[in-house]
Amino acid sequence: MNKYLIIVFFLIINSACFDPAGRDNPLDPESGIYSPQGRIQGYVNAYYQTDQPVAGAAIYLYPSGNYEISSEDGYFEFNRLPAGKYKIKAVRKGYRSDSTEVDIDNNIREIQLQLNGHPVIEQVILQTHHISRWWPSEDLYYISVDAYVEDPDGATDIDSVWVEVPTGGNIFPLTRTGQNGEFSKTVTDQELFVPSLYYLQGKPIMVYCRDLLDNQGESEKMYIPRIIEQIPVLVYPTDLASINNSPITFEWEPLYLGFPYKYKFEIYQINLGVYNKIYEIDELPGNTQAYTFTNMLDQGDYFWVLYIIDEFGDSSRSKEGAFRIIRDLN
C-alpha cells in the first residue's frame, strides 16, 4: 500500500512541474507568456561612397524611442526586441537623415542606412575692383566672388553654387575653378544694373550651394568692402616711348592713402593686337615710386600697368603705359 502511495505522490509532483500553466519564461516557446524576440543590426554608410562608414550617427528606433550611436565602422544593433514592425531613422549633424521600416520576429534582421552629407560653404572672399583704361574711356568696376565649398560625399556631389545680389534679386552662377570645391565669379556694375558699386554698400550679399540630392547650404551675410577710387598715375615710360637700353626703370606718382596697401606691377607684350602678360611682381611696398626691370626685352611694342591692392584684396588699376623696344641691329 505504501508503494502505491509513493508512486501517486511522484506523479502529482511531476505533473505540477510540467504543467503548461506554470511556465513563466517569455523566451520559452512553450510558455503561456512566450513573446518572440529578435535583433536588428546594421551599418550607416555614406550615400555615394557606400564603403565609407559614418561614425557618430544617432539611430532611433520607433515606437520604443530607444537609440544607439554608430561606431567607428558605422555599426549599430538593437537586441531583445519583441516581434513587430519598427521604424529606424539615422541622424547626424551635417547629413540628410535616412530611415527604413522593418518587420521582425525571433530572427536577426540586417539593414543598411545611407546618409547624404550637406554641402557647406566654408569660405567666401568678396572683393571690389576698379580698372582705369584708355579705351573704352569709362572706368570698369566689378566684384569678384570666390567660394570654397565642402561636401562629406566629395566635391563631385556639389551640383551648383551661386551668388545672390540684392538688386532686383539678381542671381549669378559661379563657375567651378578647381577639383576641391573652388568656385568663382566676376560681376560688373553693368551686369548688376546699378549706377555704381556704391549702391550695394550696406546691402547683404549671399552665396548658396546645392548638391545632387537638392540639399542646400548658404553663407553668412556679406557686404561690399572698400571701393578704391584712387588709381596709380604712371610717369615713365608712357605714350609709346622708345627705349633701346636695359635695364628699364618704371616710375609712377606717389600716393597718399588712408589705409595699408601694396602695388602689383605687370608688363604685357602686344603681338598683332593680342596682349600677352610676360612679367608680374606683387608685394611692392606702398611707399615705392619706381621699379627697375633688369630682364632683356625683345624688340616690339609693350605696355605696363600698376595696381593698388589693399589688405582685403580690393584693387584699383592704372591706365596702360605703352612703350616700344628698339634694338640697334648694326
Reported as a pLDDT band with limits 50, 70 and 90, residue 24 is: low
End-to-end CA distance of the chain: 150
> What is the model's pLDDT at position 30?
53
Q: What is the mean pLDDT of residues 118-147?
A: 96
> What is the model's pLDDT at position 35?
57
Level-2 CATH architecture, domain 35-115: Sandwich (2.60)
252-278 pLDDT, tens digit per residue, is 999 999 999 999 999 999 999 899 999
Q: Is 251 exposed, middle or buried (0-12, 13-18, 19+ CB in 10 A)?
A: middle
In CATH terms, the superfamily for domain 234-325 is: Immunoglobulins (2.60.40.10)
Of residues 31 and 122, the one with the higher pLDDT is: 122
Q: To the nearest whole number, what is the mean pLDDT of the chain? A: 89
145-203 pLDDT, tens digit per residue, is 999 999 988 899 999 999 999 876 789 999 999 888 999 999 998 898 888 899 998 99
223-238 pLDDT, tens digit per residue, is 998 999 999 999 999 9
> What is the model's pLDDT at position 49?
83
205-220 pLDDT, tens digit per residue, is 999 999 999 999 999 9
pLDDT beyond 50 at 25: no
**307, amino acid identity:** Y
State the pTM of this model: 0.78
pLDDT beyond 50 at 27: no
Phi first, then psi: what are they for 168, rounded to 5°? Answer: 80, 20
> What is the distance between the alpha carbons of residues 144 and 185, in angstroms, rounded to a whole number?
6
Do the strands 108-117 and 37-46 form a parallel or antiparallel pair, or are they unpaired?
A: parallel
CB 325 within 8 A of CB 243: yes
> What is the model's pLDDT at position 211?
95
pLDDT beyond 80 at 6: no
> What is the distance between the alpha carbons of residues 308 and 263, in angstroms, rounded to a whole number?
5
| Concatenated DSSP letters of 136-150 | SSS-EEEEEEEEEEE
> What is the model's pLDDT at position 3?
53
Of residues 172 and 28, the one with the higher pLDDT is: 172
| Concatenated DSSP letters of 207-267 | EEEEETT--EEEPPPB-----------EEES-TTEEE-SSSEEEEE-----SS-EEEEEEE
Residue ranges of the chain assigned to CATH 2.60.40.10: 35-115, 234-325
275-316 pLDDT, tens digit per residue, is 999 999 999 999 999 999 999 999 999 999 999 999 999 999
**CATH fit for domain 120-218, picks 3.40.1350, 1.25.10, 2.60.40, 1.10.286:** 2.60.40
CB 243 within 8 A of CB 323: yes
> What is the distance between the alpha carbons of residues 181 and 217, in angstroms, rounded to a whole number?
13
Phi first, then psi: what are they for 250, rounded to 5°? Answer: -90, 135
